[in-house]
Amino acid sequence: MNTASTEFRKRVRMALADDELQHAMGRAKGGFVLNRQKAIAEFPEFHQMTDAARDIKDHVLMNLDLYLEIYEKKVLENGGQVHWARTAEEASTIVEGLCRRSGARKITKGKSMVSEEINLNEKLEKSGMQVIETDLGEYIVQLASEKPSHIIAPAVHKTRNQISKLFYKHHKPMGYADKVSERKEIVQQARSVLRNHFVESDIGITGANFLIAETGSSVIVTNEGNGDLTSVLPRMQIVVAGIEKVIPSLEDLSVFLRVLARSATGQEISAYTSLYSGPRANHADEEGPEQYHVVLVDNGRSSMLGSEYQSMLRCIRCGACLNHCTVYNVIGGHAYGSIYPGPMGSVLTPLIDGHENNTDLANACTLNGLCRTICPVHIPLPDLLRNHRTQQQRRKLTPFTGRFFFAIWVYLVRRPHFYQIVLALPIWVLNRVGRKSGVIKRIPLANGWTNSRDFPCPSAQTFQRQWRAEMRKFNA
């Protein structure tokens, strides 16, 4: 087993043994799923809308170069600037350069997965800038020196008690003497602390849910309003987004907005949907940034275009596949060891970060197919995970012993009559061992099963054997 795999298994064991995590995950799970179900039941056009959403994305991806050019032209017309980054490193360097050259000291951030992907905070902090995450969930994980464990609910793994302790530790020096433990108080305290950061911030950095080619707008969707305070108050606004975020027009945006919130949280629409299209006009506006920058990040995306993974570029980061994933719901996001966890993350991470260090992601999945069913842009996630497994097999990244036994099994399956003869004995032995109690308590080489489960005892003879003996009677 390679180091990465050992590490993965270690993280899984820790997650399963972490009572607070298990409590938090158990609590979160049902809500997302039920709210989504309810929202869809109330919106008969949902499925039609998801088909339209998929088609729009497919169309854009086939013409991505052209759409990006149109979008860029529009942003420039609006007075903004567009920067292009091939890699994570290039992207964070561009943003760091913009911040440093403008003399920024304090930077507020809206929730942005791509900024996590390019390790932006680290880069900015190294340059001596203070970075404040303003989404409450992101703020909580930032205080805890952690990474988000969910793409739309970054602190889903934290219990109220843990948040309460974190706030006490970090806010006490700021003059908040009392420990707050009620939800309302926690939210109020965060509001109060973050308000000052918003007005003191030099630069606001957000991601984008969508980029509109027609208008050159970046669209952010939030419930808290933090993304807007981040966008509107500082003197410079920087939007960091993947190149796949562009969509043609405002009407297309409406299609996505109708499926996004319903899939993510079961809302019809999030509390705030904002379109920002450039810096403030010279004199007329009292508010809005003086400079508006968009940093468009490739980081592996262009190599997914035209490949069997192209459909992954349709992803709108709604998080529904995480919420519905059986494995995600028991191990939480951190166990994946990637900022994109769950089904979408298990597809995306090896494409961005390579297979070698991420062999477990595609395998630690039951392929139960639910993520495909609920994906609002119809990404065939299980098929893509299976493609990853095929890649690993081709590159012999899987353990030798596994491949060896597998070869024997395939040999037998392809010779059904011989298969019956060979398997008759082990089946008979298992039956002898287990028939008194109905189960077998331990099977060597199958500890993975028998350490935690009994193995139900098989019949003494296979179906085929019994059938051959009795088929005449049956057909009579």
Partner 1 sequence: MLDARSSLFAALRVALTGGEQRSALARSAIEDRVHTTRLSARPGTNMDLVDQYCNKHIAVHGTVNRIAGFHNVVAATEEYCSQQQLGKDLVVGSGAILDKVMWPPEWSANKRPANVSDKIVLSEAYAGISETGTMVFIPKSRSPASQIFLGTHHIVVLDSSLIVACQEDLWRIIRTDHEVFPRAVNLVTGPSKTGDVEQTIEYGAHGPERVHLILVDV
Partner 2 sequence: MLSYVEVILDNISNNEEALASFENVTVGFFVTCIVDLLRPSVGFAALHLLKAAGFHVEVPASQACCGQPAYNSGNESSAIDIARQVISVFENFDYVVVPSGSCAGMLRKHYPRLFASDFIWLDRARNLASKTYELNEFLVDVARIDNLSSTVSKTCTYHDSCSGLNELGIHKQPRALLTKLEGLELKEMEEADECCGFGGLFCVKYPDISTRIVERKVNNALSTGADMLIGGDLGCLMNIAGYLRRMGSSMKVFHVAEVLAGMINDPSIGEKEEHA
Residues 317-346 that bind partner 2 (CB under 8 A): 326-327, 330-331
Give the span between the Cα atoms of 15 and 284, in whole angstroms.
54
Q: Is 302 in the site for partner 1 (CB under 8 A)?
A: yes
Q: Which does 54 bind (CB under 5 to 8 A by kind): partner 2, partner 1, none?
A: none
Provide the CB-side half-sphere exposure for 120 (13 A, CA): 33
Binds partner 1 (CB under 8 A): choice among 210, 276, 309, 336: 276
Of 400-429, binders to partner 2 (CB under 8 A) are 406, 409-410, 412-414, 416-417, 419, 423, 427
Q: Are 219 and 206 in contact (CB under 8 A)?
A: no
Q: Which residue number, 313 or 364, has a Cβ lying nearer to partner 1?
A: 313
Q: Which does 78 bind (CB under 5 to 8 A by kind): partner 2, partner 1, none?
A: partner 1
Q: Which residue number, 267 or 391, has a Cβ lying nearer to partner 2?
A: 391
Which residues share a beta bridge with 236? 203, 291
Which segments of 102-135 does DSSP mark as H helices, in order?
A: 113-117, 120-126
Q: Which two tokens stand for residue 317?
A: 């980061």
Binds partner 2 (CB under 8 A): choice among 1, 6, 13, 307: 13
Which segments of 285-415 does DSSP mark as H helices, in order?
A: 301-304, 320-323, 326-331, 342-353, 359-363, 370-374, 381-394, 400-413
Q: Is 238 in the site for partner 1 (CB under 8 A)?
A: no
Give the span between the Cα atoms of 48 and 44, in whole angstroms.
8
Q: Is 189 in the site for partner 1 (CB under 8 A)?
A: no
Binds partner 1 (CB under 8 A): choice among 4, 14, 232, 330: 232
Of 15-54, binders to partner 2 (CB under 8 A) are 16
Q: Report CA-CA distances (Å) from 235 to 14, 74, 194, 392, 443.
A: 44, 21, 17, 48, 67
Binds partner 2 (CB under 8 A): choice among 365, 377, 379, 384: 365
Of 202-221, binders to partner 1 (CB under 8 A) are 213-217
Q: Is 37 in the site for partner 1 (CB under 8 A)?
A: no
Give the span between the Cα atoms of 237 and 215, in whole angstroms.
17
Q: Are 202 and 235 in contact (CB under 8 A)?
A: yes
Binds partner 1 (CB under 8 A): choice among 8, 124, 137, 372: 137
Q: Are 433 and 440 in contact (CB under 8 A)?
A: yes
Give the span between the Cα atoms of 273 and 362, in whole angstroms.
34
Q: Are 359 and 2 in contact (CB under 8 A)?
A: yes
Q: Report CA-CA distances (Å) from 26 to 144, 156, 165, 341.
A: 21, 10, 21, 17
Q: Is 155 in the site for partner 1 (CB under 8 A)?
A: yes
Stretch that binds partner 2, among 105-113, 154-162, 314-322, 385-393 (CB under 8 A): 385-393
Binds partner 1 (CB under 8 A): choice among 116, 224, 353, 360: 224
Binding pattern for the stretch 347-386 against partner 1, x by CB under 8 A and - elsewhere: ----------------------------------------
Binds partner 2 (CB under 8 A): choice among 372, 376, 377, 381: 372
Q: Which residue number, 147 or 372, has a Cβ lying nearer to partner 2?
A: 372
CB 182, min distance to partner 1, A: 9
Using DSSP's 3-state secondary structure scheme, residue 45 falls into: coil
Residues that contact partner 1, how many (by CB under 8 A): 101
Q: Is 471 in the site for partner 2 (CB under 8 A)?
A: yes
**How remote is the C-alpha of 151 from its chain's centroid?**
5
Q: Are 340 and 349 in contact (CB under 8 A)?
A: yes
Q: Is 451 in the site for partner 2 (CB under 8 A)?
A: yes
CB 383, min distance to partner 2, A: 7
Q: Are 61 and 245 in contact (CB under 8 A)?
A: no
CB 135, min distance to partner 2, A: 29
Using DSSP's 3-state secondary structure scheme, residue 307 falls into: coil
Q: Which does 474 bind (CB under 5 to 8 A by kind): partner 2, partner 1, none?
A: partner 2
Is 473 exposed, middle or buried (CB count within 10 Å of its CB: 0-12, 13-18, 19+)? Answer: exposed
Q: Is 303 in the site for partner 1 (CB under 8 A)?
A: yes
Task: Give the single-character DSSP code of 194.
Answer: H
Residues that contact partner 2, how many (by CB under 8 A): 69
Stretch that binds partner 2, among 42-50, 117-125, 197-205, 437-445 (CB under 8 A): 437-445
Q: Is 81 in the site for partner 1 (CB under 8 A)?
A: no
Going by C-alpha positions, the residue among 367, 397, 361, 395 that lies closest to residue 382 is: 367
Q: Which does 391 bind (CB under 5 to 8 A by kind): partner 1, partner 2, none?
A: partner 2
Q: Which does 215 bind (CB under 5 to 8 A by kind): partner 2, partner 1, none?
A: partner 1
Q: Are 144 and 158 in contact (CB under 8 A)?
A: yes
**How remote is the C-alpha of 1 from its chain's centroid?**
26
Task: Give the single-character DSSP code of 312.
Answer: G
Binding site for partner 2 (CB under 8 A): 9, 12-13, 16, 326-327, 330-331, 363-370, 372-373, 383, 386, 388-394, 398, 406, 409-410, 412-414, 416-417, 419, 423, 427, 435-439, 446-449, 451-464, 466-468, 470-471, 473-474
